[in-house]
Amino acid sequence: MVDVASFLGDNPYFSAGFGLLGVGAGLAVLRQGARRGADLLKRQLLVSMEIPSHDKSYQWVLGWMSRRGIEAMRAAEDGRGMPWARRQIARAVMPRHVAVQTSYKQHDNGSVSTAFTMVPGQGKHVFFFNGALMQVDRQRNAKMIDIQSAAPFETITLTTLSRDRSVFSQILSEAREFALSQNEGRTVLYTSFGPEWRPLGLPRKRRLLSSVVLDRGVSEGIVADVRDFIANGKWYDDRGIPYRRGYLLHGPPGSGKTSFIQALAGELGYNICILNLSERGLTDDRLSHLLTVAPERSLVLLEDIDAAFSRARQQSEQAAYQQSMVTFSGLLNALDGVASSDERIIFMTTNHIERLDPALIRPGRVDVKVLLDNASAHQIRRMFVRFYGTDCDALAQSFAAALHGHTVSTAQLQGHFVVHKKDAQSAVDNVGALLGQAACRSAP
């Protein structure tokens, strides 16, 4: 009888196969152990932060990385006397593939301003930050769509060997400061896009308050009231008063209502959120949400409020529905209802205050009403001197005298001065043309 054990042990093919099986099993165990060890090391040594594209800091971080890439490129180019290791690090942090973001604006005169910004493209990027090695992985999921922007969903994942998570806070803080510095000295105009606010075009250069000439004491009174409101938040809180303020600027067209709001925002260092109540698809809930999430240090502007809501429109819900889905009661609740937000400044403008329902402009919704009327003699003289200089005081008096008893808007005055911008005497001599325009404007 054959001894099976002895036979298999003496069989060289079986011994070789068994040996290979053992080696394979051993390698599998080692591979699994190495994988688990790598996962353990990754969990212990690496820390990551994911930023989705719908988060505000997403664009901040992209812009910040773009700036760091430019600085690294300049350092590498100018680093002839730089130590070799430092020059290599400078080259290493430069993005190897970039994407372009284009800002486009067409001006009223037909000219076009275009700005290009290079930001890190899709894929992985490596850089050093405060001595820590950082990897940035920008990925796009083509199967997912950002509902707010209708763009493919993207994420940025920052990974570092440092276990100190404060490095991410430092990056976010630097990215925020860099983004804010880009708009320093400028006014950002926001417009509603779905449930969020988005910048409208490029930031505008801040308009000087002195560039808008109002009647005596009007500008100073509004500025003083707004500053007093901003400085007394604790006073409102201590007395349980909602911390919000509403202003209504009313008067004929061309009296400088919107221009003054832009100049006021520049004076305060605020931005402007423009909200069109007649926008198709705007609902009560979305209106309330937009007023609640308005960017900090912003003036909310509701232009031509009479065109959106008047007594006639309040009585006709069908007419209200044709332009937007916002109801009159929804607007009132958004302005001062239970869900309305605090720390908010709203400006409304209208050419016809008599068309507004008293419920809309009562205290608590509109706290300050200011008439910006057609140009007074004081405004006419100040605008003339502003355009032509203080040495033209005598001509300014003559120009104002020629307009005495006539109705003219500040917008018409500005247009007249632009036509005769190089000759103050010509502006006085041709005042008849301005009066003809004013007569046509006032004709039924």
DSSP letters, 237-293, are HHTT---EEEEEEE-STTSSHHHHHHHHHHHHT-EEEE--TT-TT-BHHHHHHHHHS
Residues 166 and 150 in one domain: yes
Pairing of strands 132-145, 189-193: unpaired
Does residue 314 contact residue 271 with C-beta atoms inside 8 Å? no
261 belongs to a structural domain: yes
Residue 320 — pLDDT band, cuts 50, 70, 90?
Answer: very low
Q: Which of 347, 371, 395 is the last residue of a domain?
A: 371
199 belongs to a structural domain: no
Residues 418 and 437 in one domain: yes
Residues 410 and 428 in one domain: yes
Residues 178 and 244 in one domain: no
User: Is pTM, for the whole model, over 0.85?
Assistant: no
Does residue 273 contact residue 190 with C-beta atoms inside 8 Å? yes
Residues 244 and 311 in one domain: yes
Residues 404 and 256 in one domain: no
190 belongs to a structural domain: no
- Cα three-residue angle 187-191-194, rounded to 5 degrees: 150
Q: What is the mean pLDDT of the chain?
A: 78
**Cα–Cα separations (whole angstroms), residue 252 to 101, 103, 304:** 41, 35, 11
pLDDT digits (tens, 9 = 90+) for 330-342: 888 888 865 556 6
**How much is the average pLDDT of 176-205?**
82
Residue 147 has pLDDT above 60, yes or no: no
226 belongs to a structural domain: yes
Query: In terms of Cα–Cα distance, which of 272, 266, 273, 271 is closest to 210?
Result: 266
192 belongs to a structural domain: no
Residue 322 has pLDDT above 70, yes or no: no
**How much is the average pLDDT of 402-412?**
92
Cβ burial of 131 (10 Å; 0-12, 13-18, 19+) is: exposed
Q: Which of 371, 399, 422 is the last residue of a domain?
A: 371
208 belongs to a structural domain: yes
Higher pLDDT, 119 or 141: 141
Range of the structural domain that residue 382 is part of: 377-442
pLDDT digits (tens, 9 = 90+) for 34-44: 666 555 555 55
Q: How many domains would you assign to the chain?
A: 4
Helix (H, G, I), strand (E, B) or coil at 340: coil
**Eight-state DSSP code of residue 99:** E
276 belongs to a structural domain: yes
Residues 305 and 292 in one domain: yes
CATH classification at residue 365? 3.40.50.300
CB atoms within 10 A of CB 330: 19
Residues 40 and 140 in one domain: no
Residue type, 27: L
Cα–Cα distance measured from residue 417 to residue 411, given in angstroms and rounded to the nearest whole number:
10
Does residue 261 contact residue 255 with C-beta atoms inside 8 Å? no
Residues 128 and 171 in one domain: yes
pLDDT digits (tens, 9 = 90+) for 46-63: 788 888 877 878 888 888
Residues 170 and 274 in one domain: no
144 belongs to a structural domain: yes
Residues 212 and 298 in one domain: yes
Q: Which of 371, 395, 418 is the last residue of a domain?
A: 371
Residues 128 and 224 in one domain: no
Rounded to the nearest 10 degrees, the angle between the axes of helix 84-92 and helix 57-77 is 150
